[in-house]
Amino acid sequence: MAKLNFKDKWILITGASSGLGREMARLLAKKEKAHLVITARRKERLEDLKKEIESSCNTRVEILQADLSNTGDVEMVFKKATEIADIYAVINNAGLSFYNISKESDMDVFEQIIRVNLLAPMRLCLKFISYFQQKGEGAILNITSETGLVIVPYQSAYSASKHGIQAFTEGLHMEYRGSGITICSFAPGGVITEMITNIGLEKKIELHSRVNMKVEIAARKAINAFKKKKFLVVPGLLNKATVFVARFLPRWLVVFLAEIIYRPPGLTK
Ligand SMILES: NC(=O)c1ccc[n+]([C@@H]2O[C@H](COP(=O)([O-])OP(=O)(O)OC[C@H]3O[C@@H](n4cnc5c(N)ncnc54)[C@H](OP(=O)(O)O)[C@@H]3O)[C@@H](O)[C@H]2O)c1
């Protein structure tokens, strides 16, 4: 099967202002020589990335500031990105999480999680599939999560959003198999990014512990898997083993063990 070739192609990346999205953008520009449309809410971060990439690589970067919890902004990203360039690939990466007993959150935060992690990538997938069908080619990578394969208590809403996008992506992959449109998912375990510190998960699992992957490594594995059109890649041996073993254990036992591992510090049962 021919690999995806990103050289001189335009790629849209959501959530490019930090973490995995920013690192994949760097890699796609520097190593793959792709042009990029990058989007997120923090415009200054996107401008810094554009400067960094355009000053060191012979590739172009365009910025779209957008809040993907807002349907109008999601529609705007599709419209403007396809006006700016002939988009060849999309990476749905933007995401947010919550870590604590679920009732300590409120429904607005959970709604934000579902909107950004599930509804926005779903909408972009559908929009871009129609667009790619007219062109006869195109590719989508959805950044899902190991929590979309194995339920993680105290990140229950996040885990629900990631189960949703994982199921949707796998379904789409098969629906469009052989059509010229590639749809892949990449499901990392812990990656050392702001997401972990934003939700305070480092208080439970130390940020630089061996459980969490360096963002540069995760980004490289994501792009390599995408180039090879992989159906689903879970990076890292420990993560692969967890997902594999979980398949053979009773579902309640997996969640029972995950509850112990992820129980917030100080919480007694
Ligand atoms: N870090 C991990 O351990 C881990 C593990 C598994 C999967 N993942 C997944 O990897 C992806 C990237 O996360 P990360 O770890 O790189 O986290 P990160 O550093 O916090 O980056 C998240 C990105 O999403 C964007 N974003 C968040 N809310 C948004 C909104 N309402 N509208 C538009 N953009 C929004 C952020 O940009 P702005 O704030 O500027 O809008 C940022 O660029 C996510 O899908 C995440 O679920 C992460």
204 versus 72: which is more confidently predicted? 72
Does ligand 1 have an atom closer than 6 angstroms to the CB of 18?
Answer: yes
Protein residue whose Cα sits closest to atom 42 of ligand 1: 15
Q: What is the DSSP letter of 139?
A: E
Of ligand 1's atoms, which has the minimum distance to the CA of residue 192? 1
Res 269: pLDDT: 72
Query: Which residues have a catalytic role annotated?
Result: 158, 162
Tokens of 231: 């159906």
Euclidean distance between CA atoms 117 and 172, whole angstroms: 16
On the question of pLDDT at 47 being above 80, the answer is yes
The answer to pTM > 0.85 is yes
Closest by Cα among 41, 166, 157, 154 to 108: 157
On the question of pLDDT at 201 being above 80, the answer is yes
Res 105: pLDDT: 86
Closest by Cα among 181, 214, 217, 191 to 87: 181
Res 267: pLDDT: 86
Does ligand 1 have an atom closer than 6 angstroms to the CB of 67?
Answer: yes
**How many percent of the chain have pLDDT more than 70?**
100
Euclidean distance between CA atoms 43 and 151, whole angstroms: 33
Of ligand 1's atoms, which has the minimum distance to the CA of residue 46? 40
Res 212: pLDDT: 96
Element housing 19 (H / E): helix 19-30
Does ligand 1 have an atom closer than 6 angstroms to the CB of 150?
Answer: no
Of ligand 1's atoms, which has the minimum distance to the CA of residue 94? 24
Protein residue whose Cα sits closest to atom 16 of ligand 1: 19
Res 192: pLDDT: 97
Contacts (Cβ under 8 Å, ≥6 apart) of 43: 63, 65
Euclidean distance between CA atoms 40 and 195, whole angstroms: 14
Res 104: pLDDT: 85
Closest by Cα among 222, 245, 244, 242 to 233: 222
What are the b/e assignments for 81-102, b being 16+ CB within 10 Å? bbebbebbbbbbbbbbbbbeee
Element housing 132 (H / E): helix 120-135
Structural domains in the chain, CATH included, are 10-262 (3.40.50.720)
What mean pLDDT do residues 219-234 have? 98
84: confidence class by pLDDT, cuts 50, 70, 90: very high
pLDDT tens digits, residue range 173-191? Answer: 999 999 999 999 999 999 9
Radius of gyration, CA atoms only, the chain: 18
Euclidean distance between CA atoms 53 and 45, whole angstroms: 12
Does ligand 1 have an atom closer than 6 angstroms to the CB of 263?
Answer: no
Element housing 175 (H / E): helix 156-175
Range scoring the smallest mean pLDDT among 7-21, 141-155, 196-210, 232-246: 196-210
On the question of pLDDT at 53 being above 90, the answer is yes
Does ligand 1 have an atom closer than 6 angstroms to the CB of 20?
Answer: yes
On the question of pLDDT at 209 being above 80, the answer is yes
What's CA 109's distance to the chain center, in Å? Answer: 19
Of ligand 1's atoms, which has the minimum distance to the CA of residue 67? 32
- Which of 39, 151, 195, 202 most suits a substitution to test ligand 1, by most atoms within 8 Å of the C-beta? 195
Res 114: pLDDT: 98
Does ligand 1 have an atom closer than 6 angstroms to the CB of 21?
Answer: yes
- Which of 112, 140, 191 most suits a substitution to test ligand 1, by most atoms within 8 Å of the C-beta? 191
